[in-house]
C-alpha cells in the first residue's frame, strides 16, 4: 500500500539521457529547450552585467555556440546548469575583450591630437571622445577602432570581427551615428 518514495536520483536514473545533438537537429525540440533555458541564462547574465543589451547578446552567443558545438555536452549533467556554464565562459571572454578594447581605446584616445593650442580644450576633447566610445556596444567600438584608428579596410574589419562586408558596413554606419550622437551630446 505504501511504497518507497522515489528520490530525485531515482527519477533522474529513469529519465532517458538528454541528447543535445538530437535537440539541436530538431527544430521543435530545440525551440522547447531554448524557451525553457534562455530565460535562466539571460537572468544569470543580466545579474552579472546589469545591461539588457549585453545580457541579450551573450545569451544569443551562448545558444549559437551550443548549436555550433553540441558535442561539447557530454550528457553527464543537467543541460540547464551546463548551458549556464557555457554562458559563464562567454561572459568571461566578454569581460576580457571589453578590458582589452577599453585599454586600446584609452591608448588611441591619448594619441588624438586636436588641432588647438589650448591644452584644456585638448583634455576636454580627449574626455568627450573617450566617453562617446564608452557609449557604443563592444562590437561597434571594436569596428570603429579597427576601421579608423587602426586604418583597416572594411574587408579586413569584417574578417577580424567575423561578419560579412555588408554587415560590417552597416555596423560601421550605426557605430558612427551613435558615436557622433554621444560625442555631440557631450558638448552640450
Model pLDDT for residues 24-79, shown as the tens digit of each residue: 777 888 898 899 999 999 999 999 888 888 899 999 999 988 888 877 777 667 88
Residues with Cβ within 8 Å of residue 54, at least 6 apart in sequence: 45, 94, 138
Cβ neighbours of 72 (radius 10 Å): 11
* Closest C-alpha to 41, from 7, 74, 89: 89
Domains observed in the chain? 17-96 (1.10.1740.10), 114-187 (1.10.10.10)
Which residue would you say has higher pLDDT here, 14 or 36? 36
**pLDDT classification of 183: cutoffs 50, 70, 90:** confident
State pLDDT tens for residues 85-124. 999 999 988 888 877 777 766 666 655 555 555 555 666 7
The overall pTM is greater than 0.85: no
- Assess whether pLDDT exceeds 90 at residue 82: no
For the cut 80, the answer to whether the pLDDT of residue 140 exceeds it is yes
Name the band, by pLDDT with cuts 50, 70 and 90, for residue 156: confident
- Per-residue model confidence (pLDDT) at position 10: 54
Is residue 1's pLDDT more than 50? Answer: no
Distance spanning both ends of the chain, measured CA to CA: 79
CA atoms of 160 and 158, how far apart (whole Å)? 5
Position 157 confidence tier, pLDDT thresholds 50, 70, 90: confident
Task: Give the number of other Cβ atoms within 10 Å of residue 144's Cβ.
Answer: 22
Amino acid at each position: 500500500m505504501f511504497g518507497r518514495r522515489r528520490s530525485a536520483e531515482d527519477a533522474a536514473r529513469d529519465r532517458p539521457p538528454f541528447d543535445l545533438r538530437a535537440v539541436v537537429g530538431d527544430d521543435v525540440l530545440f525551440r522547447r529547450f531554448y524557451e525553457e533555458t534562455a530565460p535562466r541564462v539571460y537572468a544569470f547574465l543580466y545579474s552579472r552585467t546589469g545591461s539588457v543589451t549585453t545580457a541579450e547578446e551573450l545569451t544569443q552567443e551562448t545558444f549559437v555556440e551550443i548549436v555550433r558545438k553540441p558535442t561539447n555536452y557530454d550528457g553527464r549533467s543537467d543541460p540547464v546548469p551546463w548551458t549556464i556554464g557555457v554562458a559563464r565562459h562567454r561572459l568571461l571572454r566578454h569581460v576580457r575583450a571589453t578590458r582589452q578594447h577599453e585599454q586600446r581605446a584609452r591608448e588611441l584616445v591619448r594619441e588624438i591630437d586636436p588641432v588647438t593650442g589650448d591644452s584644456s580644450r585638448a583634455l576636454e576633447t580627449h574626455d568627450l571622445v573617450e566617453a562617446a566610445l564608452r557609449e557604443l556596444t563592444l562590437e561597434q567600438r571594436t569596428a570603429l577602432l579597427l576601421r579608423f584608428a587602426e586604418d583597416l579596410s572594411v574587408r579586413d574589419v569584417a574578417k577580424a570581427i567575423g561578419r560579412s562586408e555588408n554587415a560590417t558596413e552597416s555596423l560601421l554606419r550605426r557605430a558612427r551615428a551613435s558615436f557622433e550622437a554621444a560625442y555631440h551630446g557631450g558638448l552640450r
